[in-house]
């Protein structure tokens, strides 16, 4: 993958209607990857999880939002901590998206990118 870095904001680099801000709090499910869209991964990195903070930021910037289809393709597992989280690290989101782009399979992509520690698994 080729990557460029810049100090400029994605808001200055791309048209607003082309940007999709990925947030686990979105009501919109990412069903497919549109090559004409720009996806914001980890637009807000924080040591603690603040519910709906990324959604709020996207809404303040008038951006489209989407979430990965974890609920649609995965099931909660029984675990001792009763822990289930749809919040992923940037590298996990990247792994999910790149695997989906290659395979066009959400189950395969989610299996590759969502660790079992999140409390979700792809059913057999």
Query: Can you name the residues that pair with 121 across neighbouring β-strands?
Result: 75
- CA dihedral over 123, 85, 70, 98, signed as positive or negative: negative
pLDDT (0 to 100) of residue 48: 55
Q: Is 12 noted as a catalytic residue in this protein?
A: no
Tell whether 4 is covered by a domain: no
* pLDDT score at 4: 83
The CATH number of whichever domain residue 117 belongs to comes to: 3.40.1280.30
- Residue 82 is assigned to a structural domain of this protein: yes
> Does the residue 103 lie in any domain?
yes
- How far is residue 10 from each of residues 5, 58, 61, 99, 118, measured CA to CA in Å? 11, 12, 11, 24, 29
> Has residue 3 been placed in a domain?
no
2 in any annotated domain: no
In a domain, 20, yes or no: yes
State the catalytic residue, choosing from 4, 12, 46, 124: 46
pLDDT tens series, the chain, 124 aa: 677 889 999 999 999 999 999 999 999 999 999 999 999 997 665 545 667 888 999 999 999 999 999 999 999 998 877 888 898 888 999 999 999 999 999 999 999 999 988 999 999 8
The residue range of the domain holding 17 is 10-121
Instruction: Give the pLDDT of residue 46.
Output: 54
DSSP state of 17: G
Residue at 30 is within a domain: yes
Number of domains into which the chain is organized: 1
């Amino acid at each position: 993958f080729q990557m460029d870095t810049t100090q400029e904001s994605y808001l200055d680099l791309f048209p607003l209607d082309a940007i999709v801000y990925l947030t686990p709090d979105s009501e919109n499910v990412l069903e497919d990857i549109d090559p004409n869209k720009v996806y914001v991964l980890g637009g807000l990195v924080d040591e603690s999880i603040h519910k709906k903070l990324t959604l709020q930021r996207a809404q303040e910037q008038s951006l489209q939002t989407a979430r990965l289809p974890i609920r649609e393709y995965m099931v909660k597992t029984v675990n001792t901590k009763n822990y289930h989280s749809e919040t992923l690290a940037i590298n996990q989101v990247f792994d999910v998206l790149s695997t989906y782009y290659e395979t066009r399979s959400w189950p395969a992509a989610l299996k590759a990118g969502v660790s079992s520690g999140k409390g979700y698994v792809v059913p057999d």
